[in-house]
Amino acid sequence: MATDRPAATWRNWARTESATPRAYETPESLDEIAAVVARASERGLRVKAVGAGHSFSGAAVTDGVLVSLDRFTGIEDVRPTSAGALVTVRAGTRLRDLNRLLWDQGLAVPNLGDIDVQSLAGAMSTGTHGTGARFGGLATVARAATVVLADGSVVHCSPDDHPELYEAARLGLGAVGILATITLECVPAFALHAAEAPGTLHDTLAVLERDRLAVDHFEFYWFPHTDRVLTKRNTRLPADAPGAPVGRVRGFVDDEVLANGMFEVVQRVATRAPATIPRLNEFAARTLSPREFVDRSYRVFASPRRVRFREMEYAVPVGSVTDVLTEIDAWLSRNDFRVAFPVEVRFAAADDVWLSTAHGRDSAYLAVHQYHRREHRAYFDAVEAIARAVDGRPHWGKMHGRSAADLRTTYPRFDDFLAVRDRVDPQRTFANPYLDRVLGP
Ligand SMILES: Cc1cc2nc3c(=O)[nH]c(=O)nc-3n(C[C@H](O)[C@H](O)[C@H](O)COP(=O)(O)OP(=O)(O)OC[C@H]3O[C@@H](n4cnc5c(N)ncnc54)[C@H](O)[C@@H]3O)c2cc1C
């Protein structure tokens, strides 16, 4: 049985948030999760579930009881369907483990983001997404969930069963309860053909509509202060499609030495001598050579990220990408502000998840980054103002300065979400300062 364990200081991956919770719990069963929550509620303590701590925002911070589901992992059930299978997963399962377990069953998550260390529940709860004009984020793949509410009760929810709780819980910022299990609609395992190539921003934007729609998973990185981009085109293939995974040496050289090792060196030089950044960006962009490979989908979607950075990401209506990038470029030039990190541009289909950043509209995601040793505030504030002007929505797990009053106007179902929260957590057991800001007290 889980008991109160005094907690050390907790920090998120980006080192932007920390907390010293009263207790740290690692329950191993649904009953234990329920007991931890009930006991904390009785004592008037706040409760927060934490996954891998990979949110840049303070979403997982608590001064009360921090609950990790790292010991509540694995697949509970697989029910085949005509399109794949409904797979019930324990919510603490890390995506990288889930991907391997699914592959062994001939299954896969249809789309993923660019890292795989997050917990399933943590990733879903903040609206984690990948890229692909026909695909939604992780929460759109959910079909049911088991939620532990503030009083310790356990509720199964789905579109047919407590549908409003289900809508709020599948992308709920941890505000309505602890997700214990999540049922995902998985597809047959597939491979991806990856084609990465350097190019220019001008050419990429000129054919953006074509590539966004024609390529299964299209994205690009723009190197600020230059016209250089790196495009990534991932095409879905049957799981047994012939092709070579990226060679071990080549993969090591590209991902570890260039994308991670060399990138750290670039960032350190940029920090000491910001004036060199435009030349460094040009150099970094040109060093990335074209490459193609075929591998299991989850291995292509995700790569390691060893350079620590700060990030803000905005979802904007897809038609405004060019304007937003042009404005960012103009702001950087006007203010002589140097950024040695590329801007990542991705795409997603409109969905109906209440708090999804792609709710009701085809979306483009623009992610801005800054090395963790450099000042990010002025840059992020400027990009936020530019994105807000086109009704942009911030990623819930990344840095941003928005609050409930102005988020309400961009989410048509915001008040429905708050109504569920009021009903299931009137005492605000699951609240924290971040939720007070973005949802209200
Ligand atoms: C290097 C890096 C790369 C990233 N790449 C992407 C990307 O490609 N696409 C993208 O969209 N995002 C990306 N992110 C953001 C990341 O996916 C999200 O912030 C995600 O929430 C992190 O998952 P986690 O398991 O670390 O959750 P945490 O950060 O630990 O928690 C996030 C939220 O989920 C809640 N939560 C955790 N577990 C539960 C549970 N069992 N029940 C209820 N609530 C719970 C927490 O309370 C908190 O509110 C990236 C982040 C980093 C650091």
CATH number at residue 102: 3.30.465.10
- Tell which of 139, 173, 189 closes a domain: 189
The lowest-confidence range among 52-61, 131-140, 274-283, 349-358 is 274-283
Q: Residue 74 pLDDT more than 60?
A: yes
Q: Which atom of ligand 1 is nearest to the CA of 435?
A: 49
Is the C-beta atom of 324 inside 6 A of ligand 1? no
Domain edge (last residue) among 354, 373, 394: 394
Say yes or no: 232 and 372 in one domain: yes
Residue to mutate, 17, 28, 50, 430, ligand 1, most ligand atoms under 8 Å from C-beta: 50
> pLDDT (tens digit, 9 = 90+) per residue, 345-393?
999 999 999 999 999 999 999 999 998 888 899 999 999 999 999 999 9
Q: What sign has the CA pseudo-torsion 267, 273, 276, 278?
A: positive
Mean pLDDT, residues 137-146: 98
* Same domain for 157 and 303: no
The answer to whether residues 125 and 241 belong to one domain is no
Q: Which domain holds residue 203?
A: 190-394
**Ligand 1 pocket residue status of 64, Cβ below 6 Å:** no
- 429 domain residue, yes or no: no
Ligand 1 in contact with 58 (CB < 6 A)? no
* Any atom of ligand 1 within 6 Å of the Cβ of 70: no
SS3 143: strand
- Does residue 65 have its Cβ closer than 6 Å to ligand 1? no
Question: Tens digits of per-residue pLDDT, 14-38?
Answer: 999 999 999 999 999 999 999 999 9
- Does residue 420 sit within a domain? no
pLDDT higher than 70, residue 3: no
pLDDT at residue number 1: 45
Q: Are residues 287 and 373 in the same domain?
A: yes
Q: Note whether residue 86 is domain-resident.
A: yes
Q: Please work out, in degrees rounded to the nearest 5, the angle formed at the alpha carbon of residue 398 by the alpha carbons of 382 and 192.
A: 110
Same domain, 142 and 283: no
Two tokens at 355?
């708090």
Q: Are residues 277 and 290 in the same domain?
A: yes
Mean of all residue pLDDT scores within the chain: 93
Label residue 426 by pLDDT band (50, 70, 90). Answer: very high
User: Domain ends where: 159, 189, 219?
Assistant: 189
pLDDT above 80: residue 334: yes
Measured from the Cα of 114, ligand 1's closest atom is 8
Among residues 19, 24, 91, 14, the alpha carbon closest in space to that of 54 is found at 14
**Which residue's entry shows tokens 């911070």?**
61
The finding on whether 98 has its CB within 6 A of some atom of ligand 1 is: no
pLDDT at residue 150 greater than cutoff 60: yes
Give the count of domains, the chain: 2
Q: How far apart are the first and last CA of the chain?
A: 32
CA-to-CA dists, residue 156 to 28, 87, 126, 183, 361, angstroms: 19, 15, 20, 11, 29
Considering the domain architecture, whether residues 113 and 220 belong to the same structural domain is answered as no
Higher-pLDDT residue of 257 and 138 is 138
Instruction: Please indicate, yes or no, whether residues 286 and 377 belong to a single structural domain of this protein.
Output: yes
Let me know whether 181 and 194 are in one domain. no
- Asked whether residue 298 falls in the same domain as residue 373, the answer is yes
Identify the band that residue 423 occupies on the pLDDT scale cut at 50, 70 and 90: very high
Q: CB neighbours (10 Å) of residue 385?
A: 13
Report yes or no on 414 lying in a domain: no
CB 171 within 8 A of CB 348: no
The pLDDT of residue 7 is 65
Q: Is the pLDDT of residue 2 over 50?
A: no
CB of 59 within 6 A of ligand 1: the answer is yes
- In-domain check, residue 425: no
State which of 118, 298, 346 you would mutate to test the pocket of ligand 1, scoring each by most atoms of that ligand within 8 A of its C-beta. Answer: 118
Question: Would 308 be classed as within a structural domain?
Answer: yes
Q: pLDDT tens for residues 301-319?
A: 998 787 889 999 999 999 9
- Domain annotation covers residue 147: yes
| Mean pLDDT score, 288-292 | 82
The pair of structure tokens assigned to 8 is 């050390």
**pLDDT at residue 4, as a whole number:** 56
**Cβ of residue 60 lying under 6 Å from some atom of ligand 1:** yes
222 and 365 share one domain? yes
How are beta strands 190-200 and 142-148 bridged, if at all? unpaired
Please give the share of the chain, as a percent, with pLDDT higher than 70: 94
Q: Judge if 327 and 223 occupy the same domain.
A: yes
| Ligand 1 site-directed mutation target among 28, 32, 48, 54, most atoms within 8 Å of CB | 54
pLDDT of residue 248: 57
Closest residue (by CA) to atom 37 of ligand 1?
122
Does the CB atom of residue 125 touch ligand 1 within 6 A? yes
The CB-side HSE value for 368 (13 A sphere, CA atoms) comes to: 25
pLDDT value, residue 247: 64
Match 């990623």 to its residue by tokens.
395
119 lines ligand 1 (CB under 6 A): yes
Q: Is residue 46 part of a domain?
A: no
% of residues, the chain, pLDDT over 90: 83
Q: Check pocket membership of 179 for ligand 1, CB cut-off 6 A.
A: yes
CATH of the domain at 325: 3.40.462.10
Cβ–Cβ under 8 Å, residues 35 and 78: no
Q: Say if ligand 1 is within 6 A of residue 54 CB.
A: yes
Give nearest CA residue, ligand 1 atom 41. 179
